[in-house]
Amino acid sequence: MSEPRLIEVRRNVLKQNDVIARALRDQFHAAGVFVVSLVSSPGSGKTTFLEKTLTQLQPRYRVAALVGDLATENDAVRLARSKAPVKQITTGTLCHLEAAMVQNALQDWDLHQLDFLFIENVGNLVCPSSYDLGENLRLVLMSVTEGEDKPQKYPTIFNSADVAVITKNELSGAVEFDWDAARKSIESVRPGMRIFRLSAKTGEGMSEYLDFLSRQLAEQRAVVHS
Amino acid sequence: MHELSIAMGIVEAAMDEARQRNVQVSAVHLRLGALSGVVKDALLFSYEVACQDTPLEGSRLLIEEIPVMVFCPQCKEKRVLESVQLFSCPECASPTGEVLQGKELEVYALEVEE
Ligand SMILES: [Zn+2]
């Protein structure tokens, strides 16, 4: 029997996803649409948060959303109340979205007709971190009811995200949420991360976050046209 | 858990490389970054499942864990983090988010028999 031989192949396992994600990013850029993805654990209030985001952006912007739902969920129906175009991506038992699913879902949408596209990932703080969806900005949501140490428990997803949104701030008094501890926890896994603290229910803090999105869109378009 | 789909991706990549070279794979060497989002033990388990009924059945998955390396703006040096829960320089404690290494999920080499 011959000796085993070692051959170098150096092949990125997620290459296929990364290639599609890059193509999507180019496509988004060319169409002038700013794409925001949302990751969170179940119970962070992301559907309410996204519904308010869509509703409040609509007077000024053309918005739409893709929603990744497990077979047992139906967040898309709730989001349709915002009157924005919403499409569901049913992942079955899969715990995350992949770039190919986003690409398929967008096939019959004209991205030039949009200013913002939101992609709500499946509620999970582990699996989505490995998959680039071509988004311009990744938001990670945590609610005050989930505890201040969430970032320490899920460092990879916080590190892969651009912005942290702390939701359900209306409950922070009731659960004695320690804002400094939360900020410290985020800082330790993602130094310099932009943090928004808000309540989708009362509207507190929403305008600061929506203004931030508006500026991001304007900046992206300035780059395109320069 | 997404380790099964990752494992299937590994098996697919290895099979593809093996086919091109007309060789039989006895082991797959994988570089796994601490920030890859993949759990080693779950991946090892899923690998066996993913190999079933493929030419790779019975092959081993050898995982090299890659720590996170950052650039410290204070020391102006590359530094290896001790934990993914603390993104600061182990020497001077400056916070740093500039990741140079640690996201790898790469089939690095194959052990093959002709
Ligand atoms: Zn240093």
pLDDT tens per residue, range B54-106: 999 999 999 999 999 999 999 999 999 999 999 999 999 999 989 999 999 99
CATH architecture group of domain A2-224: 3-Layer(aba) Sandwich (3.40)
DSSP SS3 for B11: helix
Nearest CA in chain A to B88: A188
Cα of B37 vs centre of ligand 1, distance in Å, is 26
> Is B107 in Cβ contact with A13 (below 8 Å)?
yes
Cβ contact A5–B111 (<8 Å): yes
Chain A stretch 142-161, residues whose beta carbon is closer than 8 A to a beta carbon of chain B: 152, 155-157, 159-160
**Which residue of B lies nearest to A192 if distances are taken between CA atoms?**
B97
Task: Tell me: pLDDT of A1 over 60.
Answer: no
Q: What is the CATH number of the domain that holds B30?
A: 3.30.2320.80
pLDDT at A55 over 90: yes
Tell me the one-letter amino acid at A141. L
| Mutate: best of B19, B20, B85, partner A, most A CBs <10 A | B85
Which residues in chain B have Cβ-Cβ distances shorter than 8 Å to A189?
A: 84-87
What ipTM is given for this predicted complex? 0.90
Q: Are A120 and A50 in contact (CB under 8 A)?
A: yes
Put simply, the answer to whether A130 touches B95 (Cβ < 8 Å) is no
Nearest of A123, A164, A166, A159 to residue A143 by alpha carbon? A166
Q: What is the pLDDT of residues A84-115, one digit of tens each?
A: 999 999 888 788 999 999 999 999 999 999 99
| Count of structural domains within chain B | 1
- List chain A residues with CB under 8 Å of B97: 159, 190-193
pTM comes to 0.93
Note whether A92 contacts B: Cβ–Cβ < 8 A. Answer: no
Contact: A14, B9; criterion CB under 8 Å: yes
The full set of domain ranges for chain A reads: 2-224
Tell me the pLDDT tens digit for each residue of A167-202: 999 999 999 999 999 999 999 999 999 999 999 999
Q: So what's the pLDDT on residue A95?
A: 85
Residue B61 CA to ligand 1 centre (angstroms): 35
The CA B71 to ligand 1 mean position distance, Å, reads 8
Q: Given an 8 Å threshold on Cβ–Cβ distance, is B86 in contact with A2?
A: no
| Structural domain boundaries enclosing B34 | 3-113
| CA distance to partner chain B, nearest, from residue A172 (Å) | 24
What residues does the ion ligand 1 have nearby, CB within 5 Å?
Answer: B 72, 74-75, 89, 91-92, 94
Q: How many CA atoms lie within 13 A of B8 on its CB side?
A: 5
Q: Measured between CB atoms, does A190 come within 8 Å of chain B?
A: yes
Task: Check B13 against A10: CB less than 8 A apart.
Answer: no
